[in-house]
């Protein structure tokens, strides 16, 4: 605290050079003297595993990893926090997942001197539905799972109310743009009184990767299905790739941003759920309702010719294909669609890999939007976004 207040009083020219090292000292000092924060992780897939590994590398950490839950097993031990052997510890646990019991166990740890954070690294609706219960019990929720914040408005409002009434905090930076500072940037813009005019960009790491590779301005190139398969192998896609290709993942991200932006714009619609976003799906009708990602990928090659013709038409017009999302706060529209952009446009020239690019057009930023760009999917950057949120609880 003393260092924090000292930092704010330093002249800005001086702080520019000393702030980084003092900042590190402050963080180290704060963490070393911080009360315990018990951490429970639900979901130990790509992001969950990477999150745990990153968490365990923090030195002088106030975090005590006390519980892990997968779809088949769980373990809880607040007396002896988990360490690098967490994977085999979980694999050898005989306990079956029981989120009601976990809620009781974690609630008992909440006290004025001890915090508890539940990290939801699943994409489960069932887990998301428990956020209000956890928040009311004083358990903070940190998550990259978009379901609660983009689903039924009633659940979203319950979460906001539970947190506002003195319960736990909810932190969801990684739900949009993975580790990129998108949710926090928008909250800061709104909280400081800026007016959002429009938010537009490439919001899907999967869609970005697919179209950066598939549509380069040339009339031909790799088969669409082969690029989708590589995107899944790289860990960019949702567990079922159709949840990316149908535009739902982008619609969910737009819903999350639109709900935050709506407090500064009376024109934005009160979205009942992400399904209310005007979304143009890329799923061929014959592949709708396929339940597994593997079967979906096996049948996607049947539709390569369709996507190849869209690519050739765009190239003939001097354009590339990009799947974009827009929150238009002036006209009150939220939409996601595959669109053509000239090969000279930043959506064509400056994107690579799984990059997201998000442009915030606001009253203060005027004609030159605030732009956030970088990898928007992948376990490492997503876990970093989740861990960054957890650090904010310290």
Ligand X SMILES: NC(=O)C1=CN([C@@H]2O[C@H](COP(=O)(O)OP(=O)(O)OC[C@H]3O[C@@H](n4cnc5c(N)ncnc54)[C@H](OP(=O)(O)O)[C@@H]3O)[C@@H](O)[C@H]2O)C=CC1
Ligand Y SMILES: N[C@@H](CC=O)C(=O)O
Residues of this chain that interact with ligand Y (CB under 6 A) are 178, 204-206, 236-238, 244, 249, 376-377
Minimum gap (Å) between residue 231 Cβ and ligand Y: 8
Cβ pair 251, 336 in contact under 8 A: yes
Judged by CB under 6 A, which of 174, 199, 248, 254 binds ligand X? 174
The interface region with ligand X, picked from 26-34, 124-132, 153-161, 327-335 by CB under 6 A, is 124-132
* Per-residue contact string for residues 67-106; x = within reach of ligand X by CB under 6 A: --xxx-------------------------x---------
Select 205 or 217, whichever has its Cβ closest to ligand X: 205
Minimum gap (Å) between residue 366 Cβ and ligand X: 31
- CA pair distance 131, 139, nearest whole angstrom: 9
Enter the tokens of residue 228: 């989708």
12-33 and 2-9 helices, crossing angle to 10°: 170
Minimum gap (Å) between residue 184 Cβ and Na ion: 7
How far apart are the two ends of the chain, measured CA to CA in Å? 12
Residue 204 contact among Na ion, ligand X, ligand Y, none, beta carbon within 5 to 8 Å by kind:
ligand Y
Which residue among the candidates 115, 169, 234, 253 is catalytic per the annotation? 253
The residues in 318-357 that bind ligand X, with binding defined as CB under 6 A, are: none
- C-alpha pair distances (Å), 41 with each of 67, 71, 116, 124, 131: 6, 12, 11, 13, 14
Which SS3 state, helix, strand or coil, does residue 371 take? strand
Minimum gap (Å) between residue 385 Cβ and Na ion: 5
The residues in 167-226 that bind Na ion, with binding defined as CB under 5 A, are: 173, 177, 180, 182
- 101 included as an active-site residue: no
Q: CB nearest ligand Y: which residue?
A: 206
Give how far the C-alpha of residue 101 lies from the chain's centroid of Cα atoms, to the nearest Å. Answer: 27
Question: What would the 3-class secondary structure string for 164-199 be?
Answer: HCCCCCEECHHHCCCCCCCHHHHHHHHHCCCCEEEE
Select 237 or 264, whichever has its Cβ closest to ligand Y: 237
Minimum gap (Å) between residue 224 Cβ and ligand Y: 16
Q: CB nearest Na ion: which residue?
A: 177
H or E stretch covering 372: strand 370-375
Which of 251, 48, 256 lies closest to 148, judged by CA? 256
Is 47 a binding residue for ligand X by CB under 6 A? The answer is yes
Question: What residues pair up with 337 in beta bridges, in sequence order?
Answer: 324
Judged by CB under 6 A, which of 62, 132, 138, 144 binds ligand X? 144
Alpha-helical runs (H) found in the chain = 2-9, 12-33, 46-56, 86-91, 99-107, 125-128, 131-136, 147-150, 153-164, 183-191, 205-214, 224-233, 242-245, 248-261, 293-299, 304-316, 346-349, 379-392
Residue 362 contact among Na ion, ligand Y, ligand X, none, beta carbon within 5 to 8 Å by kind:
none
Is 123 a binding residue for ligand X by CB under 6 A? The answer is yes
- CA pair distance 349, 342, nearest whole angstrom: 9
Enter the tokens of residue 267: 């024109």
Is 145 a binding residue for ligand X by CB under 6 A? The answer is yes
Q: Is 48 annotated as ligand-binding?
A: yes
Q: Residue numbers of the site for Na ion (CB under 5 A)?
A: 173, 177, 180, 182, 385
What residue numbers does the annotated binding site cover? 43-48, 122, 146, 238
Q: Residue numbers of the site for ligand X (CB under 6 A)?
A: 42-48, 69-71, 97, 121-124, 126-127, 144-146, 174, 178, 205, 235-236, 238-239, 377-379, 382
Instruction: Provide the annotated active-site residues.
Output: 253
């Amino acid at each position: 605290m003393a260092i924090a207040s000292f930092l704010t009083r330093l002249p800005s020219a001086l702080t520019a050079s000393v702030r980084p090292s003092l900042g590190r000292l402050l963080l180290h000092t704060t963490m070393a003297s911080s009360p315990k924060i018990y951490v429970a992780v639900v979901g130990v897939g790509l992001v969950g595993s990477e999150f745990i590994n990153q968490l365990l590398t923090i030195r002088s950490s106030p975090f005590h990893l006390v519980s892990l839950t997968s779809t088949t097993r769980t373990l809880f031990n607040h007396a002896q926090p988990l360490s690098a052997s967490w994977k085999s510890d979980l694999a050898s646990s005989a306990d079956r997942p029981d989120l009601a019991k976990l809620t009781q166990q974690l609630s008992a740890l909440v006290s004025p001197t001890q915090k508890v954070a539940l990290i939801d690294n699943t994409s489960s609706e069932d887990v998301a539905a428990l956020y209000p219960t956890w928040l009311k019990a004083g358990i903070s929720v940190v998550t990259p799972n978009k379901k609660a914040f983009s689903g039924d408005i009633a659940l979203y409002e319950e979460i906001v109310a539970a947190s506002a009434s003195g319960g736990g905090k909810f932190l969801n930076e990684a739900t949009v743009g993975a580790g990129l500072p998108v949710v926090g940037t928008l909250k800061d813009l709104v909280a400081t009184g800026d007016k959002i005019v429009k938010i537009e960009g490439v919001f899907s790491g999967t869609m970005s990767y697919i179209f950066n590779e598939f549509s380069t301005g040339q009339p031909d190139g790799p088969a669409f299905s082969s690029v989708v398969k590589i995107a899944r192998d790289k860990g960019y896609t949702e567990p079922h790739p159709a949840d990316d290709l149908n535009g739902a993942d982008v619609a969910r991200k737009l819903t999350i941003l639109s709900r935050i932006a709506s407090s500064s714009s009376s024109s934005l619609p009160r979205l009942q759920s992400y399904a209310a976003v005007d979304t143009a799906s890329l799923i061929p009708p014959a592949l709708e309702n396929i339940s597994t990602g593997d079967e979906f990928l096996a049948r996607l090659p049947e539709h390569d010719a369709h996507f190849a013709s869209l690519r050739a038409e765009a190239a003939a017009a001097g354009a590339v294909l990009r799947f974009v999302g827009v929150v238009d706060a002036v006209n009150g529209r939220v939409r996601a669609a595959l669109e053509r952009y000239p090969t000279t446009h930043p959506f064509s020239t400056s994107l690579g890999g799984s990059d997201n690019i998000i442009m915030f057009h606001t009253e203060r930023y005027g004609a030159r939007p605030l732009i956030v760009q970088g990898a928007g999917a992948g376990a490492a950057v997503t876990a970093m976004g989740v861990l960054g949120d957890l650090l904010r609880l310290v």
